[in-house]
């Protein structure tokens, strides 16, 4: 029984109670435009749409489009429309469906939806179309979540990750792993049934190798989350350094436009400036910070404090040195090392700027750095390549499965914990009861990703966050 005090339970209950209803919703953004799309899904879709359309759609083949007019209760023409028909089992939801393409006037959209409601439709809940696709076996849970990620994607890499997941690449890999675990778990369970006879059905050596291989793969998937999350939300990159080292010039050069004010006066940048840059399909959020120095006046000091906060939030930190000044590179290298020590999770890159005017001989140092001229654009291609390399690491975006969903990451971590326990049990010849229990838990956690194992609370939490019309 659902508790209406819990919002996700309430959402799921109200949705599932009316799961046999025919639903409708605007599937395109609100507002004025050329074309709007209204989706209708459910057992009575064609009956209801035919009631307001100038033609009957009952005998129309699936995946066909039909031109005509829609009318209101007073038999007044609302608009000329194009209606696409989808038969049961052949639509996104798996139900009989229709999509009405009309002119994108808010008045027209409202009138058509009102006419559908008067004929027996119900307004769809957020994510109800995708939830119906999941309930009808058209998508598993990870594919359903990929729909939302695909809609929200802002870069090619985010788009590619979501599309691969939507097409079932991630799901198929997990199902294959889970099936292997199920096979061995069943053999271990069989042993328990014949415990008194001391029979061994599962080869311990093979089982240990399987657990080791699956664990290694699960750990790599979990490791990919850092990259996937960065791609999904954009990679925050802080540009830091002393005043007048060329931070704003570098920002402008990377962006190809004068976004930040540049001058020879130290402390020109008083606040944090953020812009986005797309490199090889990865979205980087560049943050130009106020120059960090001691003894700054009050307003500038506030900007410096904000800069330090942005360093904490950044995934990549670009430390800029002014090579026209003696010992600048050495000081910045030391500073970069301090940042790495304090924030081991950050990727820090030293940039030796102003190579075009530097009269100083840049001495070699232990830490890797890139020589650039932000003003002249020297070294920019190398910098762009390095930024992509720092983010992707040893992952290949074209071929590797990348995890970008925090729920999936959490399930993978829990799966790894259970497999580690199973591996320990096998290494130490611990009773098959414990091995079986740990493998079952690993199977359970893997199953929550695809929805083979699900709860009302989980489903409600996922689908309630979708937009209406999807």
Rounded Cα distance, 457 and 405, in Å: 18
Rounded Cα distance, 24 and 44, in Å: 11
Q: Is residue 243 part of a domain?
A: no
pLDDT for residue 360: 54
Beta-carbon-side half-sphere exposure of residue 238 (alpha carbons within 13 Å):
26
Instruction: Name the pairing type of β-strands 77-86 and 64-71.
Output: antiparallel
Q: Are the C-beta atoms of 222 and 409 separated by less than 8 Å?
A: yes
Rounded Cα distance, 316 and 236, in Å: 6
Q: Is residue 132 part of a domain?
A: yes
Provide the 10 A C-beta neighbour count for residue 437: 17
Q: What is each CA distance from 2 to 128, 170, 455, 456, in whole angstroms?
A: 18, 31, 11, 8
Please report where in the chains the tokens 């606040």 appear, as a residue: 271
The verdict on 38 and 156 lying in the same domain is no
- The CATH number that applies at residue 368 is 3.40.50.300
- The CATH number that applies at residue 216 is 1.20.120.430
pLDDT for residue 159: 87
Please report where in the chains the tokens 């914990």 appear, as a residue: 417
Pair of tokens at residue 242: 């002393």
Q: What is each CA distance from 226 to 150, 275, 373, in whole angstroms?
A: 18, 21, 31
* Closest to 188 in 3D by CA, of 426, 23, 408: 426
Q: Is residue 233 part of a domain?
A: no
The verdict on 374 and 277 lying in the same domain is yes
Q: Are the C-beta atoms of 22 and 121 separated by less than 8 Å?
A: yes
pLDDT for residue 358: 62
DSSP line for 14-35: HHHHTTTS-EEEE-S-SS-EEE
Q: Domain ends where: 97, 113, 139? A: 139
Q: Domain ends where: 346, 369, 392? A: 392
- pLDDT tens for 353-386 read 887 766 555 555 667 888 888 888 889 999 999 9
The verdict on 216 and 314 lying in the same domain is no
The verdict on 385 and 420 lying in the same domain is no
The verdict on 373 and 423 lying in the same domain is no
The verdict on 357 and 313 lying in the same domain is yes
Alpha helices in 119-203 (DSSP H): 128-135, 141-152, 156-166, 169-193
The verdict on 379 and 286 lying in the same domain is yes
pLDDT for residue 17: 45
Q: Is residue 245 part of a domain?
A: no
Rounded Cα distance, 204 and 397, in Å: 36
Provide the 10 A C-beta neighbour count for residue 216: 12
Q: Are the C-beta atoms of 231 and 402 separated by less than 8 Å?
A: yes
Q: What 8-state DSSP symbol labels residue 370?
A: E
Q: Is residue 190 part of a domain?
A: yes
Rounded Cα distance, 414 and 423, in Å: 14
Q: What is each CA distance from 67 to 16, 85, 134, in whole angstroms?
A: 34, 11, 31
3-class state of residue 184 by DSSP: helix
Q: Are the C-beta atoms of 59 and 1 separated by less than 8 Å?
A: no
Q: Which contacts qualify for 385-392: CB closer than 8 Å, 24 or more apart?
A: 386/349, 387/235, 387/237, 387/279, 387/284, 387/316, 387/349, 388/279, 388/280, 388/282, 390/316, 390/347, 390/349, 391/227, 391/230, 391/231, 391/235, 391/282, 391/315, 391/316, 391/347, 392/227, 392/282
- The CATH number that applies at residue 44 is 3.30.1360.120
Point out the residues of the chain with pLDDT beneath 50.
1-11, 17, 201, 260-271, 291-304
Q: Are the C-beta atoms of 278 and 155 separated by less than 8 Å?
A: yes
The verdict on 27 and 102 lying in the same domain is yes
**Total tally of structural domains belonging to the chain:** 3
Q: Domain ends where: 123, 139, 155? A: 139
Q: Is residue 23 part of a domain?
A: yes
Pair of tokens at residue 178: 């889970």
Q: Is residue 241 part of a domain?
A: no
The verdict on 104 and 77 lying in the same domain is yes
The verdict on 331 and 356 lying in the same domain is yes
Rg of the chain taking only CA atoms, in angstroms: 29
Please report where in the chains the tokens 């849970």 appear, as a residue: 141
Q: In what order do the strands lie in the sheet with 64-71?
A: 64-71, 77-86, 97-104, 33-41, 23-26, 122-123
The verdict on 364 and 271 lying in the same domain is yes
Q: Is residue 53 part of a domain?
A: yes
Domain hosting 349: range is 260-392
The verdict on 134 and 150 lying in the same domain is no
């Amino acid at each position: 029984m659902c508790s209406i005090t819990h919002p996700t339970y309430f959402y799921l209950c109200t949705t599932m109670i009316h799961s046999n209803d025919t639903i409708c919703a605007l599937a395109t953004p609100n507002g004025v435009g050329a074309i709007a799309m209204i989706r209708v899904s459910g057992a009575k879709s064609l009956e209801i749409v035919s009631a307001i359309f100038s033609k009957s759609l009952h005998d129309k083949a699936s995946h066909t489009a039909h031109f005509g007019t829609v009318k209101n209760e007073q038999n007044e023409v609302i608009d000329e429309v194009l209606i696409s028909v989808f038969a049961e089992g052949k639509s996104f939801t798996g139900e009989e469906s229709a999509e009405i393409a009309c002119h994108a006037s808010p008045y027209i959209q409202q009138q058509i939806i009102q006419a559908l409601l008067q004929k027996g439709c119900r307004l769809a809940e957020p994510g109800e179309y995708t939830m119906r696709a999941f309930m009808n076996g058209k998508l598993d849970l990870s594919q359903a979540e990929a729909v939302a990620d695909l809609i929200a994607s802002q870069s090619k890499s985010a788009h590619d990750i979501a599309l691969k997941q939507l097409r079932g690449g991630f799901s198929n890999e997990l199902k294959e792993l889970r099936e292997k675990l199920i096979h061995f778990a069943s053999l271990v369970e069989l042993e328990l049934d014949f415990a008194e006879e001391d029979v061994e059905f599962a080869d311990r050596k093979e089982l240990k190798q399987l657990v080791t291989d699956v664990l290694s793969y699960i750990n790599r998937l979990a490791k990919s989350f850092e990259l996937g999350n960065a791609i999904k939300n954009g990679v925050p990159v802080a540009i830091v350094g002393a005043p007048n080292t060329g931070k704003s010039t570098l920002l402008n050069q990377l962006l190809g436009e004068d976004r930040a004010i540049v001058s020879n006066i130290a402390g020109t940048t008083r606040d944090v400036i953020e812009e986005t840059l797309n490199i090889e399909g990865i979205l980087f959020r560049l943050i130009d910070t106020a120059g960090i120095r001691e003894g700054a006046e009050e307003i500038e000091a506030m900007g410096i404090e904000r800069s330090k906060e942005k360093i904490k939030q950044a995934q990549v930190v670009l430390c800029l040195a002014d090579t026209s000044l003696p010992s600048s590179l050495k000081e910045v290298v030391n500073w970069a090392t301090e940042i790495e020590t304090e924030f081991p999770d950050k990727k820090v890159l030293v940039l030796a700027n102003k190579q075009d005017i530097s009269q100083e001989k840049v001495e070699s140092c232990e830490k890797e750095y890139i020589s650039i001229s932000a003003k002249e654009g020297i070294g920019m291609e190398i910098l762009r390549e390095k930024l992509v390399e720092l983010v992707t690491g040893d992952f290949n975006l074209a071929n590797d499965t990348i995890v970008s969903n925090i729920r999936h990451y959490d399930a993978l971590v829990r799966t790894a914990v259970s497999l580690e326990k199973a591996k320990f049990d096998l290494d130490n010849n611990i009773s098959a009861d414990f091995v079986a229990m740990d493998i079952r838990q690993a199977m359970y956690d893997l199953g929550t990703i695809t929805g083979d194992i699900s709860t009302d609370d989980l489903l409600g939490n996922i689908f309630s966050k979708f937009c209406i019309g999807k």
